[in-house]
Structure 1
């Protein structure tokens, strides 16, 4: 009875060890995407004065892979799709920010695209409402995303001049090809080759974990085989001692 019981114990121990090893294998990159923890203005909030800047704060650092800040973009648009950001998105640790000059009262949306700490691009939108007092000066919106430093950014003086200067500044988009089109909010894509190397390291870790698990299970099987073999070898001897029909009765009858 001891051998089957020992077999069960060793099998459970082997499976537990294998599970523990697999649990130590790093999770895939998707589990490490940055996510928003706060924003200014807060999601769904109403502000009565135009903030000088708006920002999105993530749970981890934002990567500036381009070295020029073009890897991360924060836009502010109204219900008509006009832009009110200044085009100068900046990052500081986990925070992405941009200057703004809001226009007419109404619904606005902060749309972000950022490279999270795992090398993947994340994007989404944060809505808020602007309800200033009557007579508050209104910023001029731009039909296209302004370039940093252009007159068409937040606080521009005239819609006509901003449109002309924005068009004149459009060649600068060639220096930022990866940000010419914002990703669909809520989408995430691989942004750099580093993600591929990270994926390779994860696959290597998975292979190692599986190999170790197989070794552990094989070792458990060897131990079970040895113990079971020894048990079988000892069974006849024990049977002779415990068998009530032992030769003792036969010898006594022969003696008679």
Structure 2
């Protein structure tokens, strides 16, 4: 349970999220994930990272129960900083990151996937940001990398989910496969990239980040500022309490 990694002989490092029952990641987990991603990218024998999850869904975002049972704002600050660290680690990883998405991908899950280089998803995968229903904001930066601007706003305001097939239509999901074929499909794609000269691919990753029109680090931290405003006003606490009680 937690964050784990394994390395194949083909240059692929598999990093797995495993926090039963729904992969709601605690504060420590976000930092652990960031550490694993950074370490994998620095390994000379890692040419590609596959980010995957065990269980019913890829990621349900932050652990709201942890935030609610912690006095003061330490858990909230930790979750926000941890998410920022993990999202950045995906984006800044020295090698390409392939996200293999199963089941639900919500909140922080969208932050991870939106910063990945390639997305492969199972037919049962759905993506969404329930933030407005939880009295928070965030990861619109990353949803905007998956869908066009007006659709992003609709999904953000309504907290509706979008399917893997719909994202495939928009080109942000590369391939949609049956759930039992997900790991194999993501690994096959990763191995195709890993077989190339890693020196070239690492330069390509850095170059692509350098020409990216979206400054993902700054824009996400800007969003988080409004989450703190909502928390200080008491709006967020009431929304989280209603969600947990409901």
Fold shared by both chains (TM-score > 0.5):
no
- State TM-score, norm by structure 2: 0.28
More helix by share: 2
- State TM-score, norm by structure 1: 0.27
